[in-house]
Amino acid sequence: MAERAFDTGRRPQWCPGCGNYGILAAVRLALAELGLRREEVVAVSGIGCHGRITEYLDVNAFHAIHGRAVPVAEGVKLANPGLTVLVHTGDGDAYSIGLSHLLHAARRNADIKVIVHDNMVYALTAGQAGPTTPRGVRTRSTPAGNTEEPFNPILLLLASGATFVARGFSDDVQHLKELIKRAVRHRGFAVIDVLQPCPTFYDSRPLLREKVYRLSGRGASSLREALELALEADRIPIGVIYEAERPTFEESFAHARVPPALRGAAKPDLSGLLARFL
């Protein structure tokens, strides 16, 4: 299916130069090259500038409330494990209000593919510092410079047991497309932290263009090596940081389900206990 098959035809309402354009292009290309059909894909987005992507990506879509895109996606995947389920979420959506959902989905190895549009600022609400805003950056809520230490999302996700952790850059569309394809092919939870300039509220483009470099090969060969990559400070590696195999949440859940014939027999008899209180 051609890339244009995933285009709803609506004109994106993002600012000129916004990194969301690169992410949208990379997702469409990846889905086309994977040979997926619209009806085989569900995209769930959260609240933020990124959230509009489900208006422009022609697949089954759900625009969730703030911070809740991940649990919605987990429910979709459990209900129909045959679907490819994408989550589009922002740094505020994923790493602040929705953080516990994200980390627990990683721990469970839920088979969903999370693309974090990490512009390092709350952009939809007009430019406040967020969980990944670097120290010293001036925003509307930090006019004298951000005094808080930002999260290191890669470190956090590795520590949470994620089986696929990658970092991308929205200006490197071809590279990001390949990351998304690998994430979709991965069996289990996959997350890509996509560094994305927001020219309106925090234009990180010059800094990212200077510091970002592509990892060679297929990524770290051990968790220890991945942790070292996550801690790299002078330059910013993009690529697959870590990949491992583990049973998925959906597989474990299916095995744990009680067969219908045993459901009645398994129920405890509480009548004696209830009689004491009635």
Q: How far apart are the first and last CA of the chain?
A: 64
Q: How far apart are CB 47 and ligand SF4 at their closest, in Å?
A: 12
Burial class (CB in 10 A: 0-12, 13-18, 19+), 165: buried
Q: Are strands 84-90 and 113-118 parallel, antiparallel or unpaired?
A: parallel
Q: How far is residue 212's CA from residue 54's CA, in Å, rounded to a whole number? A: 28
Q: What would the two tokens of residue 210 be? A: 């200077």
Smallest gap from residue 20 Cβ to ligand SF4 (A): 5
- Closer residue to ligand SF4 in complex, CB, 18/42: 18
Rounded to the nearest 5°, which phi and psi values hold at 83?
Answer: -85, 150
Taking the least distance from each CB to ligand SF4, the nearer of 20 and 84 is 20
Q: Which residues bind ligand SF4 (CB under 6 A)?
A: 14-15, 18, 20, 49, 119, 123, 198-201
> For ligand SF4, which is the closer residue by CB, 92 or 153?
92
CB 132 to ligand SF4: min, Å = 13
Q: Which is nearer to ligand SF4, 33 or 55 (CB)?
A: 55
What are the beta bridge partners of residue 84?
A: 41
Q: At which residue do the structure tokens 């933020």 appear?
A: 48
Please, what is the minimum distance in Å from the beta carbon of residue 119 to ligand SF4?
5
